Every structure is written in structure tokens, then in C-alpha cells.
Amino acid sequence: MAGMFNSSVGRKFAMALSAFFLMLFLVMHVSINFTSVFSADLFNEMSHFMGTNPVVQGLMQPILIFGVVFHFVMGFILEAKNKSARGVSYAKNVAKDNSTWMSRNMLLSGVVILAFLGLHFYDFWVHEMTIKYVEGDMSGLINPDNAESGFRYYEELREKFVSPVRVGIYIVAFVLLALHLLHGFNSAFQSVGANNKYTKALTGFSKVYSIGIPALFIFIALFHHFTH
């Protein structure tokens, strides 16, 4: 079985498993973020739980980081192998006649998402890690010396979306994520061997998921930008 991941089929299988994991994570992430639209308190409570729970922080967070890194590294490895499989390009090639733009540009959309993740990590993750583990403030309060000051998460979230440039970057990144998912969702199922009588229904669901999840993220960013 160890040799499985040295094969082209095995690597695609591993890529698909990491994709399933990340797609599930996106559902959880957008669900928590969406609470900020209708309840600052609920968003604060959930953020504090996720940010201080030892299982989430000590187990789930490292798994998530591994999943993200694995997905990107494997993507680059597969792309390098694919590039080397065709040394000379065609003088004329009309790929648009037989495949979608999304399917041919997964690396491009992936790299844009990777660049966005850099900004996202800087905005939220590095900020959180610094407060909690460098400054040692695990309270989650706006003023750690004042228990009545309330949690800081909601205010920090809204502060991030004041800048129209940052909101614009978020929108571009999530449009690219939608394009990435529009091919990646079904592709992951194909890679694990699931292409059967349910595939047609799955294709319909994949469109709802691939457009719906990024659209919700964009809506949340715009909501906080215009209501701040």
C-alpha cells in the first residue's frame, strides 16, 4: 500500500482526500463566519471556543494546516510531472472546444487562493497566535484587564472589512475559489473512483456548493463593509 502514493492514481487519490477535508472545513468556516451577520454574541462565543479549545487548537488546527500545505505541495508536484509529460507544445491548440477554463487552470486559481491565504493568515491567524501565545492573553477580551469589555473577535472582524481594497481582494480570491471548486468538487469524486448513477445529481450539488460557499464569504465581507 505504501507504493500506492508513488503512482499517478495514488497521488490523485491523496489529492482528492485532502480536497474533501478542505471542502468540509470550508462549510464549518463559513457557518461560523455567517453567525457574525445576525449575532455578534454568537460569533464571539464560537470564535472564543474555537480559539481556546485545546482539541481544536492542539489537534484540529495542526491537521488543518497539514491539509492545506499537503494540498498545495501535492498540486505543485502533480503539475511539475504533467509539464514534463509534454516537452513540445502544439503550434495550434483549441482546448476550449473540449474542456472548461476551470479544469485547465486549477494551478492558476490555486496559486491565487494560496496568495490570498497568505493575506488571510497574516490578517487573522498570525494576529491571533501573537495575542494568545506570544503576549499570553487567552482571555479574548477587548481589554484583558476589564472583564466587562466584552470579546474582541466581532469588532476585529468588522475592522478588517473597512478597507475597500481588502474587500476587493477577498472578492477576487473567492471568485477564484468558486472557479477552483466548480472543477475540483467533481474531480475529487472522480479521482476516488466515484462516477456512477449518482454523478449527475452530484454535479448539480457541486454547482450549488461551489458557488454558494464562496458567495456567502463574499456576502459576509460586503455586509460588514457596508454596515460598519
Residues of the shown chain interacting with other proteins in the complex, contacts defined by CB under 8 A: 1, 3-4, 7-13, 78, 81-82, 84-95, 97-100, 103-104, 106, 183, 186-187, 190-196
Q: How far is the CB of 189 from other proteins (least distance, A)?
A: 8
Residue 14 falls in which region: left (phi positive, over 0), alpha (psi -120 to 50) or beta: alpha
Q: How far is the CB of 86 from other proteins (least distance, A)?
A: 5
Closer CB to other proteins, 106 or 222, in the complex: 106
Closer CB to other proteins, 35 or 187, in the complex: 187
Q: How far is the CB of 136 from other proteins (least distance, A)?
A: 46
Q: How far is the CB of 71 from other proteins (least distance, A)?
A: 14
Q: How far is the CB of 89 from other proteins (least distance, A)?
A: 7
Closer CB to other proteins, 3 or 204, in the complex: 3
Closer CB to other proteins, 162 or 194, in the complex: 194
Three cell numbers written together for 53? 479549545
The Cα–Cα gap between 28 and 113 comes to 18
Closer CB to other proteins, 87 or 164, in the complex: 87
Closer CB to other proteins, 102 or 221, in the complex: 102
Q: How far is the CB of 194 from other proteins (least distance, A)?
A: 6
Contact 5, 11 (CB under 8 A): yes
Q: How far is the CB of 58 from other proteins (least distance, A)?
A: 30
Closer CB to other proteins, 53 or 190, in the complex: 190
Using H for helix, E for strand and C for coil, what is the string for the chain?
CHHHHHCHHHHHHHHHHHHHHHHHHHHHHHHHHHHHHHCHHHHHHHHHHHHHCHHHHHHHHHHHHHHHHHHHHHHHHHHHHHHHCCCCCCCCCCHHHCCCHHHHCHHHHHHHHHHHHHHHHHHHHHHHHHHHHHCCCCCCECCCCCHHHCECHHHHHHHHCCCHHHHHHHHHHHHHHHHHHHHHHHHHHHHCCCCCCCHHHHHHHHHHHHHHHHHHHHHHHHHHHHHC
